[in-house]
Amino acid sequence: MILTFEHEAIRELRLNRPPVNALSPELIRTLLQAVQVAPSEGRGALVVSGSSGMFSAGLDVPVLLKLDRAEMNAVWRDFYALMHSLASSPIPVVAAITGHAPAGGTVLALFCDWRVAAEGDSKIGLSEVQVGLPLPPVILSALRRLVGVRQAERLAVTGVLVTPASAAALSLVDEVVPAEKVVARALQWCQDLLALPQRATDLTRREARADLVGLFARDIDHELAEVSSWWWREETQAALYRMVEQLAMKKKS
């Protein structure tokens, strides 16, 4: 589910779950483990990338709709652990957004140190409200940190998806480059950072990201319970099943 490439001190974790790199329970756990183990294996930085034209389409809703409550609770807990691990990683993590990154795809990028996206008409944003899910507080706070209070409200409340160029104008991504250069630019950013005096950079980075890491110090159990309860609401389930039906119809056409 993840292809690993070593670029000297930098490890690239390339999501590899065709056709859209949807975040299944197994992929979430695999990515979590990969992020957690990289520092202990001597890596100096991480790049999380996707396939050409597709970073990640977000949570694998068709798979998740088949889970019972206990299984779904485990998925939410693992997904929060993944966000936390990205936020608190002792080594820098860059999101190389190689294509579409709606919903969960954008969530992964929010908690990385830096984000570079491919030029074009790919869609980026947090569309959770469109399927009846309020944007969880931890994710909304991370969004505000990047784009500011007013733009975070607009993006979250409407669930609008934007192009990479618009995302860059909003500071939702940091840079936009031609598609074939996305991973190379991510690697270059990591190399430039690793070339700086390490101790000073590490301490400053830790302090600069303390607010992001601190989001997970609050009552996450309560938030997880709220997120889980919304997943099982009748309105949300109906919207999720409609989305799955629409996806199935597109595949047939």
Residue 75 contacts residue 67 (beta carbons within 8 Å) = yes
- The predicted model gives 141-158 an average pLDDT of 98
CA–CA distance, 119 with 242 (Å, rounded to integer): 30
Buried b (16+ CB within 10 A) or exposed e, 194-230: beeeeeeeeeebeeebeebeebbeeebeebbeebeee
Q: Report percent pLDDT > 70 for the chain.
A: 100
CA–CA–CA angle 189, 81, 188 (5° rounding): 5
* Identity of the amino acid at 126: L
How high is the pLDDT of residue 242? Answer: 93
Q: State pLDDT tens for residues 19-70.
A: 999 999 999 999 999 999 999 999 999 999 999 999 999 999 999 999 999 9
Query: Tens digit of pLDDT for each residue in 67-102?
Result: 999 999 999 999 999 999 999 999 999 999 999 999
Q: Which of 89-98, 132-141, 241-250 has the lowest mean pLDDT?
A: 241-250
The radius of gyration of the chain from alpha carbons, rounded to an integer in Å, stands at 17
Mean pLDDT across the stretch 173-179? 98
> Residue 249's pLDDT band (boundaries 50, 70, 90)?
confident
Overall CATH class of domain 2-198: alpha beta
Determine phi and psi for 112, rounding to 5 degrees: -85, 170
Looking at residue 5, its pLDDT comes to 98
pLDDT confidence tier of residue 248, bands split at 50, 70 and 90 = confident
CA distance 122 to 99: 5
- The owner of tokens 């990591």 is 190
Stretch (H or E) spanning 196: none
Which residue, among 138, 135, 29, 21, has the nearest Cα to 74 in the 3D structure? 29
213: confidence class by pLDDT, cuts 50, 70, 90: very high
The reported pLDDT for the residue numbered 218 is 83
